[in-house]
Structure 1
């Protein structure tokens, strides 16, 4: 495998933009591509490096290529598409996909990379925009141990935890578990705050008390204030959560795993979309309950 000194980052959304920034600040030569070219130029003006018109051009000469885009189709477009990174990646380089995508896609990319003697790691992340900006993401990886150990020092530049969960697709499967758990937690928090409000309790005081006990969670700590204030123009969008839950539910049917709460919360998010909340944070499940009153 090649010594990593030049990296390419494909996708400069709310997550990718700060993640790529951490790499540049640590002295790695960073080549970027974004579908909206002006955003790539803005990134270069802020961080240095170079912007390129296609993923293929950005990946040329890179020792490590990192991707953070929207969904399976987006990943295919920037990897195996007509101007994808695999058309220019060289033997001994490694491809890391940070997109939350399907396990099938991870296996598909792993096979495509092996044909070109390119390493592959599926590496979805958790921690949201705040985690990306603060370099405190949790990264769940699937792939060969040697490839994982090779890219670990780079991934660690924007993470607080980087773990190899197994062979290719294990990272995506672990991210599914993450989203399944979050769905139930957010709905529980929304119902608890709604109940407190209806009971005439001081919601903030309630949270101050129960957060110190068994009910405490990341969602409670980081989302209760904006939920109480009925503010949702931030965070991880409902549209993206529904995409993720569809991946979870599809995989669950294949595994004969029963996910009744996840399926129900997915429908609750559909209700949020219907009232215009597709871009709201996932904590907007409370908005749905308030609207039902």
Structure 2
């Protein structure tokens, strides 16, 4: 494999500004090598010799917008796996159980932001389905997964995973919620998959998302890409998407010294989460 050409300082700064402006992503000097490798790989595919020429392609009208989406697929590679942070899913199950016990509603709505290739969203769905299956009265749920990467969403919609990628799923859950395929992969069972939908969303355009009145929002391992002021702005917008009593689960360490007058912190030693206070009539 040929070595990626060096990314000059001026080009690095220009690409860094473009990523922050368009996607909110903040790259520091430690990520320079990663950016250089990903840009160079795409440039080789397009037979483009220098970073400036590729920058012009990305910024050129409709064709540039298409190429921008393809580039983002390379740059938003996320390390993810099923039940990545077990305490968060234990909290989710406790919340769903309490919801089923105390509410008169007929179902829950959930949202996985930055769902990548679907592992978090399907983990949320499995946890929710497991709790609801034990309830005396019938309850259902719907879950939306969003991500900026079209390629990641394509994988999520396929709902097909290797045995290695299912390492966090117990044998009993794998038997209930996945179907073995002839090629050795496992496909999400239709009964579970039909509860989910996946859509592309740039969180900088969060205001355009039609989701409202959600019972659960997971936003983990996403905010780390953004500046502190933007993290707070996005969180304030998410609060408005929560139903009264809804649960917001964040990544531990992704935000500090943030509070909201409509939220109450969840008392949990291993999970950063909040619930929205019930609305009170004026």
Q: TM-score range by the shorter chain?
A: under 0.3
Q: Taking CA–CA contacts closer than 8 Å with sequence separation of 6 or more, which of the two structures ends up with the larger relative contact order? A: 2
Q: Which has the larger share of helix?
A: 1
The TM-score, its normalising length taken from structure 1, stands at: 0.26
Normalized per residue, which structure has more strand?
Answer: 2
TM-score, normalising length: structure 2: 0.27
